[in-house]
Homo-oligomer: A and B are copies of this chain.
Amino acid sequence: MKLTARGRYAVTAMVDLAMHEHEGPTSLSDISDRQTISLSYLEQLFAKLKKSNLVDSVRGPGGGYQLSRSCREIFIADIVDSVNEQVDATRCAGKADCQGGETCLTHELWSDLSEQIHNFLSGVDLASLVGKREIQKIAKRQSAFQDTSLRSPDKSTLLPATQI
């Protein structure tokens, strides 16, 4: 498990994809514009995301990428792993000087901890991130209503508290 900007870009792009799911395929240039990520960098990321079966592609005009399955079935760990081809933390896996002694501590420890982090991120799905984002949007809109005193007397546009 490795957490760098590359993973951040990938997760962001996937959330963008999830948020525009209903509009059909999303082109990378759209994502590039919205999230200000270089187009060709996105291409590289999506090549990996596709290889990992996280997205499907549609070529030609009107084409783009789509989530391969529900955003409730795509987990952050999948995304990060997909673009971050994992480094070989076990480079001395079978070496002579790494037998039972404390030298192995390094790998044992980290691979164990790494697994814990991985398990954790395997429990966070795209839907939950999208959900949070949507909530923020709503909250923002609501406070905007309050701030500018533009709130309409019709309160039906505001979601009930239980839904937030």
Chain A residues within CB distance 8 Å of chain B: 1-5, 8-9, 11-12, 15-16, 34-37, 76, 87, 89, 100, 102-103, 105-106, 108-110, 112-114, 116-117, 120-121, 124, 129, 132-133, 136, 140
Contact A34 B133 (CB under 8 A): no
Take A3-B1, A102-B34, A113-B11 as given contacts and tell me if A133 and B120 are in contact as well, using a CB distance cutoff of 8 Å: no
A99 → chain B closest CB, angstroms: 11
**This chain's copy number in the assembly:** 2
Instruction: List 6 A-B residue pairs with CB atoms under 8 Å apart, sorted by A's residue number.
Output: A35-B106, A76-B113, A109-B133, A112-B132, A117-B117, A120-B120
Docked complex Cα distance between A135 and B114 (Å): 18
A53 → chain B closest CB, angstroms: 22
Most chain B CB within a 10 A radius of its CB, from A4, A106, A116, A133: A106
Q: In the complex, which of the residues B3, B37, B89 contacts A117, with contact meaning CB atoms closer than 8 Å?
A: B3
Contact B121 A109 (CB under 8 A): no
Contact A105 B35 (CB under 8 A): yes
Chain B residue nearest to A8 (CB atoms) is B110
If A76-B113, A105-B133, A109-B129 are given as contacts, then 17 extra A-B residue pairs at C-beta distance below 8 Å, sorted by A number, are A3-B114, A3-B117, A5-B87, A8-B89, A11-B110, A12-B109, A12-B110, A15-B109, A35-B102, A35-B105, A36-B103, A37-B106, A108-B133, A108-B136, A112-B132, A116-B124, A117-B121
